[in-house]
Chains A and B, each alone.
Chain A
Amino acid sequence: MKLYLHYLSIHVRSAMEYKTSFILTALGQFLVSFNVFLGVFFMMERFNNVKCFTYSEILLCFSTVLISFSLAECFFRGFDMFPSMIGNGEFDRILVRPRNTVFQVLASKIELTRIGRLFQAFIMLGYGIIKSGIKWDFLRVLTLVLMIVGGITVFAGLFIIFAGLCFFTLEGLEVMNIFTDGAREYGKYPVSVYGKTVLTICSYIVPFALFQYYPFLYLIGRDVPVWYCALPVLTAMFLIPSCLIWRLGMKKYQSTGS
């Protein structure tokens, strides 16, 4: 942990060396997701509700997904960049160091520019909390926290899977972006908006609904069992296959030789 904090401070300092670039990239992150927000805003203004979700409820849902995605991308970016790490032989250097490989990949890159997106997500979260009229009690606050943590877990799991698959393919699998970018892009509305099939896929195959939909229903006070709020905990199970793939890949790994 201490070592990770040290890495973190290195990343912060190196980002601050290029202040203009940092600010511009962060601003860019903000603008891109602001476009998505505008889209939601105009749609909700025109239609008032979608599948019985109101504007403030949608914003709550959107902001939790965006917060988890930004945090996951910020801290697990190393796995996202993993193809290039394998390609240029950087990973061989990691193997000779006396530390856990997952840890080193994790610490190799921390993308602080995601703060732009995070900033917007928190504004939306604040607005959603004020306007949605939820009666906040301890359990609801806990649910919200669990949703965000669960989201980070799922995204982190996905990033690790992609990186693990790179051991076999030696190059990036762009197809996999469908899951991460897709969830960021379309997670703005609760999964049920997209219909039954999508909801099933997102419940059992890639567990987006476990943190984004079911606990969300509890959060906004729909008539659902209380245990829905504990579902994000289940996302931890998603880390099992992802770590397995990583292990398997590590065993098979032969350097690219460059």
Chain B
Amino acid sequence: MKQYLSFFRIRFQTGLQYRTAAIAGISTQFVWGGMEILMFKAFYEASPGAFPMSFEALTSYVWLQQAFLALFMPWFWDAEIFKAISDGNISYELCRPAGLYEMWFTKNMAIRLSKAVLRCFPVLIAAVFLPAPYGIMLPGDIQGTVLFLLSMLLAFGVVVAFSMLIYISVFFTISGQGIKMISSCLAEFLSGAVIPLPFMPDGLRQLAEFLPFASMQNAPLRIYSGDIAGAAAWQVIALQLFWLVFMCAAGKLLMHRALKQVVVQGG
């Protein structure tokens, strides 16, 4: 456990060094959030009745999404891992006295978390001070907040566990380009990064809500805004837990298989 913690610390601290990049990120997130909300406002004005969630819930969703982008962005990959697999550096990693799966998992968590820590606060603080329907609403009750935090944690885990599956698949395919692309596009759309899931048509929406992608940003963001509450929230969290356990187990199993037959090609 100790070695993973220090792994986490090293990665986390390296990530914190990139401050200029973070400033660029923050300003982008502001503009994106603002434009997104203005866009939804136009649709809201077109026909409020067709709006599947309350406008305040939507704005909170958008701001949280922008603030915690780094935790949930499905198109972010650790290039080092792909490189290690294809150029044979994996053999060094295998010499370390730590489980490869756990090591990569913590590494990924640390990178995403360091990015998020640098970026989330300015966005959140500004969003709190924006006038009523456009800003982020404060969390309602204690129960909702606890559920939100729990769901956030699980969503983060699901995102990392999912990307682990993709990393591991590269053991079998060597080039990760294709699978990386398709999986991040699928995950982006089905996790509600393009439009929140409630805006999707019936049928697709029900299907999407059951898929693991809905256990990513969709779950905590909608729980926060009260779009999912009470018993439904518990159900969503249970589903998140299921996908997390399932994907970790699948990942470990696949990794075990892959490492049995790993061939380091010279280099």
A residues at B contact (CB < 8 Å):
20-21, 24-25, 27-28, 31-32, 34-36, 38-39, 42-43, 45-51, 173-175, 177-178, 181-182, 185-186, 189, 193-195, 198
Closest residue of chain A to B194, judged by CB?
A39
The answer on a CB contact under 8 Å between A178 and B43 is no
Does B143 have its Cβ within 8 Å of any Cβ on chain A? no
Binary per-residue interface labels of chain B (6-37) against chain A in the complex, 1 for a CB within 8 Å, 0 otherwise: 00000000000000110111011001100100
The answer on a CB contact under 8 Å between A47 and B31 is no
The answer on a CB contact under 8 Å between A195 and B38 is yes
23 contacts between A and B (CB under 8 A): A27-B178, A27-B181, A31-B181, A32-B185, A35-B194, A36-B194, A38-B189, A39-B194, A42-B199, A42-B200, A45-B201, A46-B52, A47-B43, A48-B47, A174-B28, A175-B24, A175-B27, A177-B24, A181-B28, A186-B35, A195-B41, A198-B35, A198-B38
Q: How far, in whole Å, are A50 and B20 apart by their CA atoms in the complex?
A: 37
The answer on a CB contact under 8 Å between B39 and A42 is no
Q: How far, in whole Å, are A177 and B32 apart by their CA atoms in the complex?
A: 11
The answer on a CB contact under 8 Å between B46 and A189 is no
Q: Which listed residue, A24, A27, A28, A189, touches B39 by the CB 8 Å rule?
A: A189
Closest chain B CB from A170 CB (angstroms): 12
Query: What interface size band does chain B fall in?
Result: 20 to 34
Q: How far, in whole Å, are A123 and B104 apart by their CA atoms in the complex?
A: 41
Residues from chain B with Cβ under 8 Å of A24 in the complex: 177-178, 181
Does B95 have its Cβ within 8 Å of any Cβ on chain A? no
Closest residue of chain B to A186, judged by CB?
B35
Q: Is the interface of B mostly helix, strand, loop or mixed?
A: helix
Residues from chain A with Cβ under 8 Å of B20 in the complex: 174
The answer on a CB contact under 8 Å between B38 and A46 is no
Does B42 have its Cβ within 8 Å of any Cβ on chain A? yes
Residues from chain B with Cβ under 8 Å of A20 in the complex: 175
The answer on a CB contact under 8 Å between B32 and A182 is yes
The answer on a CB contact under 8 Å between A42 and B201 is yes
Closest residue of chain A to B35, judged by CB?
A186
Closest chain A CB from B123 CB (angstroms): 14
Closest chain A CB from B133 CB (angstroms): 14
Q: How far, in whole Å, are A34 and B194 apart by their CA atoms in the complex?
A: 11
Q: How far, in whole Å, are A216 and B121 apart by their CA atoms in the complex?
A: 39
- Known A21-B177, A45-B201, A178-B27; judge A35-B47 contact (CB<8 A): no
The answer on a CB contact under 8 Å between B42 and A50 is yes
The answer on a CB contact under 8 Å between B32 and A194 is no
Closest chain B CB from A213 CB (angstroms): 14
Residues from chain A with Cβ under 8 Å of B25 in the complex: 174
Q: Which listed residue, B39, B46, B52, B178, touches A194 by the CB 8 Å rule?
A: B39
The answer on a CB contact under 8 Å between A175 and B28 is yes
Q: How far, in whole Å, are A249 and B237 apart by their CA atoms in the complex?
A: 55
Q: How far, in whole Å, are A226 and B182 apart by their CA atoms in the complex?
A: 45
The answer on a CB contact under 8 Å between B195 and A39 is yes
Q: Which listed residue, B46, B52, B182, touches A50 by the CB 8 Å rule?
A: B46
Residues from chain B with Cβ under 8 Å of A194 in the complex: 35, 38-39, 42
- Known A27-B181, A35-B185; judge A185-B32 contact (CB<8 A): yes
Residues from chain A with Cβ under 8 Å of B28 in the complex: 174-175, 177-178, 181-182
Residues from chain B with Cβ under 8 Å of A198 in the complex: 35, 38
Closest chain A CB from B152 CB (angstroms): 24
- Which 3 interchain pairs have the tightest Cβ spacing? A174-B24, A28-B181, A39-B194
